[in-house]
């Protein structure tokens, strides 16, 4: 009695099966969803607690945790929890947007280098090597400290509230594309030799069509994995720059700039220093474990972890 | 081989040249220019004086002309004066570089001493509790923001326990070796916790791969003890790829130490770069940044060369 052959399974359901085995990665995904939902419902928390993220109350500085302020208040009497939630919005958004932008940029470069090959490829890859070798943090600090008015951006734009947000996303994405570019280029080199690419070419498909319709779907797994891992990395970079006062500018909160005054606060209110750091830590760690789980689920043949 | 080294040095030189132009240009875009600073310092200065000064310092010329002037002077050995430290740039740079190298030396030493054994232990029992624990430590180390880790260590060791000082700055020039080490303890700890992960993870995956090889089975079949198999046969081969991390990690640490040095006020390259950027000390910032780039690239180059030296199977000719 031979068993009835099972229905064929889609790639996605196979990947989901493999992913489900990763309890840690599942748990991390859950943490991230919780953080995101809580952060983006920050206004609800404000209404519920009857407070405002930017409400300064000097009579209530460094208040102990209470019903009104579940995590207490900061040095200006603002509610710590609500500010953490708003900070989460910004940090998560910066992380995801910058990682996504870098992935798009890296994918384009990788596809073009891998598809055309030859001199073009070696030029792009030497450039990638050079960018990887640059001292990242010092350069980010220079770029974050630039006076954009001297580049010709209008004063009006410079004074808009979100400029520090756009700037940090742009400069992080500027250096973040290298991992994806290398991975995509490597994959493209093998995929372009496959028969279906030959078939497409013989039917007269244009180069962009071959790259985006035929090759791209085959290189998408490493892109997803590398992007997930890089979100954590971006959140770390954002927090460092904001900590030094070069990233997100107050009154807008981010997990990094909540720590800007931390060095003075460790003596009187260490709790204020601990919370934002813990949220960064759990978020980044979750993205790392999630990336690891996704790697096994989507891309089981590559053992090498992109770092 | 010589050709390969030559090409790599050539590439490094090209990148440094491009970087010097880019950084020179970027620094011109920083808020506040030198003449504005002089005007701020001297209320009697008129706008004609300012224009004359601009001409005197060549600041009215286009950027590429200014860059070429700078590059010519720099290649001739004149790197200019540091505004912040009122000393020739190189006189400020060397002590800072020395301090950073000392800090990184200790960090790499401790990371290797702690990270490699952790990786080996994890590899001996893959997917066991120990393995998961080591993996967790590695992930935790890389996921902690370094500035926050530094602050936590200060809270714990300086504020609560009072063992180590929160500042790594030594002002007393004849401080004893013990005092110096004590002051460096927290910066070293911060950087080490961060870089343990890359050593233990790489060591683990190399070891697992090597332990599957045929010659390991042969060694076991001959009756070698497990300790001998691991330490003599497997470890030596698993160590080779770790050399690459030395180089990469060095570059990483070199720029990553910026945060740690700044928080602990440790007078190294990272703090120098940060202070000179923040303090509008353009000459200093430019040279320090270029130097950091050079060190990072040299680290990568040494890693590649060391890899080839230890593993003769690697050829530098057929590079794709």
How would you write A7-71 as a 3-class SS string?
CCCCHHHHHHHHHHCCHHHHHHHHHHHHHHHHHHCHHHHHHHHCCCCCCCCHHHCCCCCCCCCCC
CB of B182 less than 8 A from some CB of A: no
By C-alpha distance, which of A103, A118, A119, A235 is closest to A182?
A: A103
Which has more confidence, B73 or B248? B73
Give tens-digit pLDDT for A39-97: 888 788 777 777 776 777 777 777 777 767 777 777 777 778 888 888 899 999 999 99
Which of A210-224, A247-261, B226-240 is most confident?
A: A210-224
Q: In chain B, pLDDT over 70 holds for what percent of residues?
A: 95
Averaged pLDDT, B141-170 = 85
User: Are B277 and A289 inside 8 Å of each other by CB?
Assistant: no
Give the pLDDT score at B183.
83
Paired tokens of B60: 């009215």
Give the pLDDT score at B277.
87
Interface ipTM above 0.90: no
How far apart are alpha carbons B80 and B69 in whole angstroms? 12
* Alpha carbon of B296: minimum distance to chain A alpha carbons (Å): 6
User: Are B29 and A138 inside 8 Å of each other by CB?
Assistant: no
With beta carbons less than 8 A apart as the criterion, state whether A84 and A255 touch: yes
Give the pLDDT score at A3.
54
Q: In chain B, pLDDT over 90 holds for what percent of residues?
A: 11
pLDDT, chain B, mean: 83
Query: Which of B135, B147, B155, B278 to mutate: most A Cβ within 10 Å?
Result: B147
Using CB atoms, which residue from A136, A145, A266 is nearest to B255? A136
Helix (H) or strand (E) holding B88: strand B87-88
Q: Which band of pLDDT confidence, cut at 50, 70 and 90, is reported for residue A111? A: very high
Paired tokens of B272: 């120098």
Residues 6+ positions from A277 with CB-CB distance below 8 Å? A259, B144, B145, B148, B151, B152
* Alpha carbon of B233: minimum distance to chain A alpha carbons (Å): 23
Give tens-digit pLDDT for A26-44: 899 999 999 999 888 878 8
Give the pLDDT score at B177.
76
* A305-A112-A203 Cα angle (round to 5): 115
How far apart are alpha carbons B34 and B40 in whole angstroms? 10
Give the pLDDT score at A82.
83
User: Are A146 and B26 inside 8 Å of each other by CB?
Assistant: yes
Residue A144 has pLDDT above 60, yes or no: yes
User: Are B11 and A273 inside 8 Å of each other by CB?
Assistant: no
Give the pLDDT score at B8.
83
Averaged pLDDT, B57-62 = 74
User: Are B148 and A239 inside 8 Å of each other by CB?
Assistant: yes
pLDDT, chain A, mean: 84
By C-alpha distance, which of A108, A126, A121, A256 is closest to A173?
A: A108
Using CB atoms, which residue from B139, B263, B270 is nearest to A289? B139
C-alpha R_g of chain A = 23
How far apart are alpha carbons A54 and A62 in whole angstroms? 15
Residues 6+ positions from A31 with CB-CB distance below 8 Å? A282, A283, A286
User: Are B262 and A244 inside 8 Å of each other by CB?
Assistant: yes
CB of B133 less than 8 A from some CB of A: no
CB of B22 less than 8 A from some CB of A: no
């Amino acid at each position: 009695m031979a068993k009835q052959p099972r229905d064929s399974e889609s790639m996605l359901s196979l990947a989901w099966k493999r992913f489900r085995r990763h309890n840690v990665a599942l748990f991390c995904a859950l943490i991230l969803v919780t953080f995101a939902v809580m952060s983006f419902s920050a206004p609800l928390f404000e209404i519920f607690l009857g407070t405002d993220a930017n409400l300064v109350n000097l009579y209530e500085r460094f208040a102990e945790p209470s019903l009104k302020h579940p995590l207490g208040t900061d040095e200006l009497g603002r509610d710590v929890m609500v500010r953490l939630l708003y900070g989460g919005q910004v940090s998560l958004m910066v992380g995801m947007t910058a990682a996504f932008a870098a992935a798009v940029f890296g994918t384009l470069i990788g596809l073009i280098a891998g598809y055309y090959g030859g001199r073009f490829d070696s030029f792009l890859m030497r450039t990638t090597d050079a960018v990887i070798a640059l001292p990242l943090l010092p350069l980010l600090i220079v770029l974050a400290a630039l006076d954009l008015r001297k580049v010709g951006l209008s004063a009006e734009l410079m004074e808009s509230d979100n400029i520090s947000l756009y700037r940090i996303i742009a400069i992080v994405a500027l250096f973040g594309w290298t991992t994806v570019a290398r991975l995509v280029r490597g994959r493209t080199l093998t995929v372009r030799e496959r028969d279906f690419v030959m078939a497409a070419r013989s039917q007269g498909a244009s180069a962009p069509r071959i790259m985006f319709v035929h090759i791209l779907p085959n290189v998408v797994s490493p892109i997803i994995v590398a992007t997930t891992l890089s979100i954590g990395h971006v959140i770390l970079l954002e927090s460092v720059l904001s900590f030094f006062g070069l990233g997100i500018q107050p009154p807008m909160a981010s997990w990094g700039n909540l720590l800007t005054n931390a060095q003075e606060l460790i003596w009187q209110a260490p709790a204020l220093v601990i919370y934002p750091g813990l949220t960064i830590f759990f978020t980044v760690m979750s993205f790392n474990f999630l990336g690891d789980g996704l790697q096994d689920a989507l891309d089981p043949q590559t053992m090498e972890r992109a770092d | 081989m010589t050709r390969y080294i030559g090409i790599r040095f050539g590439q490094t030189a090209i990148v440094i040249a491009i970087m010097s132009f880019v950084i020179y240009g970027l620094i011109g875009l920083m808020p506040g220019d030198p003449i504005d600073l002089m005007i701020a310092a001297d209320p009697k200065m008129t706008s004609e004086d300012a224009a004359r000064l601009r001409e005197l310092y060549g600041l009215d010329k286009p950027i590429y002309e200014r860059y070429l002037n700078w590059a010519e002077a720099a290649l001739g050995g004149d790197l200019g004066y540091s505004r912040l430290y009122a000393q020739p740039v190189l006189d400020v740079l060397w002590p800072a570089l020395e301090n950073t190298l000392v800090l990184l030396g200790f960090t790499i030493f401790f990371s290797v001493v702690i990270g490699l054994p952790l990786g080996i232990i994890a590899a001996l029992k893959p997917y066991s509790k120990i393995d998961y624990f080591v993996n967790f430590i590695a992930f935790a180390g890389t996921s902690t923001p370094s500035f926050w880790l530094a602050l936590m260590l200060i809270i714990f060791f300086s504020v609560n326990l009072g063992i180590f000082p929160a500042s790594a700055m030594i002002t007393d020039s004849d401080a004893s070796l013990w005092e110096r080490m004590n002051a460096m303890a927290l910066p070293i700890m911060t950087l080490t916790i961060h870089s343990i992960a890359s050593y233990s993870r790489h060591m683990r995956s190399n070891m697992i791969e090597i332990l599957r090889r045929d010659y390991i089975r042969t060694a076991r079949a001959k009756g070698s003890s497990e300790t001998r198999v691991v330490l003599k046969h497997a470890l030596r081969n698993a160590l080779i790829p770790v050399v690459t991390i030395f180089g990469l990690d060095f570059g990483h640490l070199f720029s990553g130490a910026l945060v740690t040095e700044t928080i602990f006020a440790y007078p190294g390259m990272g703090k120098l770069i940060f202070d000179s950027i923040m303090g509008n000390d353009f000459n200093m910032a430019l040279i320090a940044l270029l130097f950091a780039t050079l060190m990072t690239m040299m680290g990568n180059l040494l890693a590649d060369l060391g890899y080839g030296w230890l593993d003769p199977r690697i050829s530098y000719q057929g590079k794709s």
